[in-house]
């Protein structure tokens, strides 16, 4: 990459940014005339800039970017053009009259491959937006460098809060003093041409200043030293793109652009990409490129801005080598909004080229794929993704609704199906019945993932969901293979974490920890759910101290994994802390029991892993059955006694909380109908050993649940409590109907 450094130049410069006001409306009135007049407008502005010694760096669409050596030349050029443009428009007989706003600032800029970049370029854009049509707005730095002798009047606009800047910026509006004449371009005494005077002296002074800055830096700038070991392939973080649109509602579009770039880059096997959650921790914060790169352990940083208005889209992007501070490239892309995916591909291509990464044919095909041609569907999809990353049932419900709206507009939108599958999978696994009933969520997860893969066979997110479905079905080897395939298609920390979970429940604990560490390397600032998942894996590996540290961080973030936290404390014989956690949970959920844990954590392939977990919770004080029920051994029914109670029998009773009557009807084949507490469930019942086992599709992911039955010595037929059935979530008192 050293050769790219030769194309870079840093210097102090005056930046002028000009933009046509209401260009979209002008085009709407008459597209052909508007385009011609806007081009003519900028041609005249370019001539004026050059006459005053300026250099035009970019001239695209409805905007112009130029550089000057002196603020007085930039202001003179701006005012001269505005006066001439007013006269030009006055002579037009229709209302297609391009008016221009101009912003000017003074600061350090970078020139890479002929493109002007840096914070002051963005500042000039923001100042331009403060100017009225036909007006000029300048920064305080530019104002202070203009000689008092020049015939300009200033209106102090005060401290202005500008989007993308942490501190307010002092701005001024500048006009020609009444009765005065705009200064003409000054001749260059060394060449006889018009332009800035004493240019060579300016360069010399700039060189001295630069040398002094370099010398000073030896005393106060520390060497670039990442906190993490750099990966063995190019490493990059994409910072949240700044929303330059006038409408705050476009914020989600800028976020979506960032998210899409991260997702696309993570599909390139030759790159290491920091994940979305970590990237967005820098949103709205002051940007210090070297510090961010050091903190995350990456060499390259991509930053930029997005502006979408009136069907037009502009993307500014620059790729920075944090080890040198140099720009590998910087570019501005202008297009119709409908070409958003093409622009994203151009940015990805430039990154790959700059970092000398070779794309495989599969990667090229995946990156060139257009996810949807319906921009409204894409808009809903972006909004859904913002909700998806937030914790809580309400956010999951909203994300699911937005994904489904995207699919209503485009039924062939594979990424939206994958989003539905991911949401439904989490709702099902995490028991968010308020969003969707478990069986419905499970079926939706599988069907949506299958549909996503039918449309896009390389969708890693969909494969990750299918891996969990296979795990629940007990297809452990197939689940691992599917989860690995997901990772091979998209190097996402979320997909890595899902693989770690599949490996852990399959008994491959050391490997699960290695994979989880890979996920966290891409997510140095993980969300609470990641801390919780790491806690699971550490518990499985017997690293209880580390598990507690991670699980407590998850707890601080509002994500509770008490079955592993209490178990970890118990395994370290920190019984008071373990029991305090169990008590807190039981105060809110009195049904918590070892039976519930055994029912909830049905994924374990190895019985010894489940027994390890249950024994640790037993030491923590978790009761065997809900509400602390303890049946006496002498009252427990054997298999033949249980069989006599079920076949062709009807139970009548109530649960221990007296939430209403419960009726269970068994036929001679063991089919059962359960009625009560607002539900009607059907399934089958069998006697296995000395336990009664139910298999009801709407419960426990359709898996078998087994319970002990006890005789109640104090029960009576009248009270319908001659027997007790202890399940994972309730204690049922019942009698057999005569």
Indicate whether 209 pLDDT > 60: no
CB 300 within 8 A of CB 234: yes
How far is the C-alpha of 391 from the C-alpha of 399, rounded, in Å? 11
Length of the chain: 738
CB 538 within 8 A of CB 512: no
CB 735 within 8 A of CB 715: yes
How far is the C-alpha of 560 from the C-alpha of 532, rounded, in Å? 8
Residue 658: other Cβ atoms inside 10 A = 8
* C-alpha gyration radius of the chain: 34
How far is the C-alpha of 141 from the C-alpha of 159, rounded, in Å? 13
Burial group, residue 443, by CB count within 10 angstroms (0-12, 13-18, 19+):
middle
How far is the C-alpha of 84 from the C-alpha of 722, rounded, in Å? 100
Confidence (pLDDT) at 436: 76
Indicate whether 201 pLDDT > 60: no
pLDDT tens string 507-526: 999 999 999 999 999 999 98
How far is the C-alpha of 525 from the C-alpha of 528, rounded, in Å? 10
* Largest Cα–Cα separation, the chain: 117
How far is the C-alpha of 108 from the C-alpha of 684, rounded, in Å? 76
- To which H or E segment does residue 654 belong? strand 650-655
Confidence (pLDDT) at 372: 84
pLDDT tens string 603-622: 889 999 999 999 999 999 99
Indicate whether 195 pLDDT > 60: no
How far is the C-alpha of 506 from the C-alpha of 475, rounded, in Å? 10
Q: What φ, ψ does residue 26 adopt, rounded to 5°?
A: -60, -45
Indicate whether 191 pLDDT > 80: no
Confidence (pLDDT) at 200: 37
Predicted confidence band of residue 119 (pLDDT cuts 50, 70, 90):
confident
pLDDT tens string 630-672: 888 899 999 999 999 999 999 999 887 767 789 999 999 999 9
Indicate whether 709 pLDDT > 90: yes
Residue 640: other Cβ atoms inside 10 A = 9
Mean pLDDT of 436-459: 87
Residue 551's Cβ-side half-sphere holds a number of Cα atoms within 13 Å equal to 23
> What is the distance in angstroms between the CA of the first residue and the CA of the last residue of the chain?
87
Regarding predicted confidence, which is higher, 325 or 155? 155
CB 651 within 8 A of CB 737: yes
- Strand pairing partners for 538? none
Which residues, 6 or more positions from 504, have their beta carbon under 8 angstroms from its beta carbon?
Answer: 512, 536, 537, 540
164: left (phi over 0), alpha (psi -120 to 50) or beta: left
Confidence (pLDDT) at 508: 95
Q: Which residue has the tokens 């720009």?
A: 327
Residue 358 DSSP symbol: P
Q: What φ, ψ does residue 529 adopt, rounded to 5°?
A: -60, -35
Confidence (pLDDT) at 225: 59
pLDDT tens string 322-376: 887 777 777 777 777 777 777 777 888 888 888 888 888 888 887 777 888 888 8
Residue 663: other Cβ atoms inside 10 A = 14
Confidence (pLDDT) at 198: 38
Confidence (pLDDT) at 370: 82
Which residues, 6 or more positions from 736, have their beta carbon under 8 angstroms from its beta carbon?
Answer: 645, 649, 650, 651, 722, 723
pLDDT tens string 567-580: 999 999 999 999 99
Predicted confidence band of residue 103 (pLDDT cuts 50, 70, 90):
very high
Tokens found for residue 703: 């898996």
pLDDT tens string 529-574: 889 999 999 999 999 999 999 999 999 888 888 889 999 999 999 9
Q: Which residue has the tokens 């249980």?
A: 642
How far is the C-alpha of 450 from the C-alpha of 454, rounded, in Å? 6
- 555-561: Cβ within 8 A, 24+ apart: 556/528, 557/391, 557/527, 557/528, 557/531, 558/391, 558/528, 559/391, 559/528, 559/529, 559/531, 559/532, 561/532, 561/535, 561/536
- Strand pairing partners for 20? 100
Indicate whether 506 pLDDT > 90: yes
Indicate whether 278 pLDDT > 70: yes
DSSP 614-625: HHHHHHHT--SS
CB 594 within 8 A of CB 618: yes
CB 664 within 8 A of CB 673: yes
Task: List the alpha helices (DSSP H) in 111-250.
Answer: 119-130, 140-144, 199-220
- To which H or E segment does residue 44 belong? helix 31-51
How far is the C-alpha of 462 from the C-alpha of 673, rounded, in Å? 36
pLDDT tens string 289-315: 888 888 899 989 988 888 877 778 778
Mean pLDDT of 440-467: 90
Regarding predicted confidence, which is higher, 503 or 188? 503
How far is the C-alpha of 203 from the C-alpha of 200, rounded, in Å? 5
How far is the C-alpha of 419 from the C-alpha of 465, rounded, in Å? 10
Confidence (pLDDT) at 678: 67
Residue 652: other Cβ atoms inside 10 A = 17
Confidence (pLDDT) at 61: 63
CA distances to 254, 474, 513, 606, 725 from 541, in Å: 41, 22, 8, 14, 36
- Mean residue pLDDT of the chain comes to 84
DSSP 581-633: HHHHHHHH-TT--HHHHHHH-TT-SSHHHHHHHHHHHHHHT--SSGGG----G
Angle at 265 (CA atoms; ends 261, 267), nearest 5 degrees: 125
Indicate whether 241 pLDDT > 70: yes
Smallest Cα–Cα separation from 300: which of 376, 235, 374, 210? Answer: 235
Predicted confidence band of residue 7 (pLDDT cuts 50, 70, 90):
very low
Indicate whether 211 pLDDT > 70: no
Residue 187 DSSP symbol: B
Confidence (pLDDT) at 341: 78
- The percent of residues in the chain predicted with pLDDT above 90, rounded, is 36
Predicted confidence band of residue 197 (pLDDT cuts 50, 70, 90):
very low
How far is the C-alpha of 564 from the C-alpha of 597, rounded, in Å? 11
Confidence (pLDDT) at 599: 77
Confidence (pLDDT) at 93: 83
CA distances to 302, 547, 682, 695, 734 from 670, in Å: 64, 44, 11, 11, 18
Residue 206: other Cβ atoms inside 10 A = 15
CB 426 within 8 A of CB 432: yes
How far is the C-alpha of 266 from the C-alpha of 367, rounded, in Å? 11
Residue 270, SS3 per DSSP: coil
Confidence (pLDDT) at 284: 76
How far is the C-alpha of 578 from the C-alpha of 8, rounded, in Å? 59
Indicate whether 194 pLDDT > 50: no
How far is the C-alpha of 323 from the C-alpha of 32, rounded, in Å? 48
Crossing angle of helices 476-489 and 460-472, in 10° steps, is 170
Which residues, 6 or more positions from 189, have their beta carbon under 8 angstroms from its beta carbon?
Answer: 197, 198
Calculate the CA 612 to chain-centre distance.
Answer: 36
Q: What φ, ψ does residue 709 adopt, rounded to 5°?
A: -115, 140
Confidence (pLDDT) at 285: 74
Confidence (pLDDT) at 249: 63
How far is the C-alpha of 462 from the C-alpha of 415, rounded, in Å? 9
Angle at 413 (CA atoms; ends 485, 490), nearest 5 degrees: 25
CB 113 within 8 A of CB 77: no
Regarding predicted confidence, which is higher, 59 or 206? 59
């Amino acid at each position: 990459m050293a050769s790219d450094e030769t194309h870079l130049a840093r210097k102090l410069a005056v930046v002028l940014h000009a933009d046509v006001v209401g260009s979209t409306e002008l085009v709407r009135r008459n597209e052909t005339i508007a385009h011609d007049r806007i081009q003519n407008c900028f041609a005249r502005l370019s001539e004026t800039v050059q006459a005053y010694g300026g250099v035009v760096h970019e001239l695209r669409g409805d905007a112009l970017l130029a550089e000057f050596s002196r603020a007085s030349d930039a202001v003179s050029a701006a005012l001269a053009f505005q006066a001439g443009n007013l006269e030009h428009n006055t002579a037009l007989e229709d209302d297609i009259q391009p008016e221009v706003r101009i912003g000017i600032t003074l600061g350090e800029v970078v020139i890479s491959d002929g493109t002007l970049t840096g914070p002051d370029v963005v500042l000039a854009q923001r100042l331009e937006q403060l100017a009225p049509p036909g007006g000029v707005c300048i920064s305080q730095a530019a104002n202070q460098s203009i000689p008092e002798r020049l015939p300009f009047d200033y209106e102090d606009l005060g401290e202005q809060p500008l989007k993308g800047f942490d501190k307010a910026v002092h701005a001024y509006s500048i006009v020609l003093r009444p009765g005065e004449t705009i200064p003409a371009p000054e001749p260059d005494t060394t060449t006889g041409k018009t332009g800035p005077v004493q240019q060579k002296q300016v360069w010399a002074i700039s060189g001295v200043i630069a040398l002094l800055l370099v010398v000073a830096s030896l005393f106060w700038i520390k060497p670039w030293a990442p906190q993490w070991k750099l990966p063995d392939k190019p490493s990059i973080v994409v910072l949240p793109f700044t929303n330059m649109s006038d409408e705050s509602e476009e914020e989600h579009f800028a976020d979506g652009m960032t998210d899409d770039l991260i997702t696309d880059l993570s599909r390139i096997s030759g790159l290491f990409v920091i994940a979305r959650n970590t990237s967005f921790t820098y949103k709205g914060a002051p940007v210090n490129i070297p510090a961010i790169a050091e903190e995350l352990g990456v060499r390259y940083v991509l930053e930029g801005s997005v502006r979408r208005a009136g069907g037009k889209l502009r993307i500014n992007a620059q790729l920075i080598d944090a080890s040198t501070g140099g720009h590998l490239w910087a570019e501005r892309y202008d297009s119709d909004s409908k070409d958003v995916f093409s622009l994203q591909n151009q940015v990805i291509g430039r990154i790959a080229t700059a970092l000398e990464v070779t794309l495989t044919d599969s990667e090229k095909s995946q990156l060139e794929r257009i996810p949807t041609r319906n921009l409204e569907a894409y808009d809903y999809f972006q909004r859904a993704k913002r909700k998806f990353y937030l914790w809580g049932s309400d956010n999951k419900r909203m994300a699911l609704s937005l994904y489904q709206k995207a699919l209503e507009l485009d039924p062939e939108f594979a990424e939206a199906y994958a989003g539905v599958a991911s949401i439904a999978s989490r709702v099902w696994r995490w028991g968010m019945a308020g969003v969707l009933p478990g069986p419905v969520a499970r079926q939706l997860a599988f069907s949506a993932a299958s549909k996503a893969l039918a449309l896009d066979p390389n969708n890693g997110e969909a494969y990750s969901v299918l891996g969990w479905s296979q795990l629940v079905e007990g297809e452990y080897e197939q689940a691992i293979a599917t989860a690995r395939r997901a990772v091979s298609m998209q190097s996402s920390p979320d997909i890595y974490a899902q693989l770690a979970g599949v490996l852990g429940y399959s008994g491959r604990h050391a490997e699960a920890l290695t994979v989880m560490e890979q996920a966290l390397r891409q997510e140095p600032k993980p969300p609470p759910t990641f801390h919780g998942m790491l806690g699971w894996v550490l518990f499985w590996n017997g690293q209880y101290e580390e598990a507690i540290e991670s699980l407590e961080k998850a707890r601080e973030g509002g994500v509770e994994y008490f079955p592993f936290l209490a178990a970890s404390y118990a395994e370290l014989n920190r019984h008071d802390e373990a029991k305090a956690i169990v008590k807190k949970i039981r105060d809110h959920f009195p049904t918590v029991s070892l039976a519930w844990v055994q029912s909830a954590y049905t994924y374990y392939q190895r019985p010894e892993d489940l027994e390890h977990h249950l024994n640790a919770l037993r030491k923590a004080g978790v009761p065997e059955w809900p509400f602390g029920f303890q049946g006496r051994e002498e009252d427990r029914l054997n298999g033949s006694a249980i069989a006599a109670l079920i076949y062709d029998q009807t139970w009548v009773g109530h649960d221990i909380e007296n939430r209403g009557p419960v009726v269970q009807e068994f036929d001679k084949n063991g089919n059962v109908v359960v009625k009560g507490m607002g539900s009607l469930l059907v399934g089958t019942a069998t006697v296995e050993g000395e336990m009664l086992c139910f298999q009801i599709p709407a419960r426990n992911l359709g898996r078998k649940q087994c319970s002990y039955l006890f005789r109640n010595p104090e029960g009576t037929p009248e009270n319908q409590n001659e027997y007790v059935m202890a399940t994972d979530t309730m204690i049922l008192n019942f009698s057999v109907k005569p």
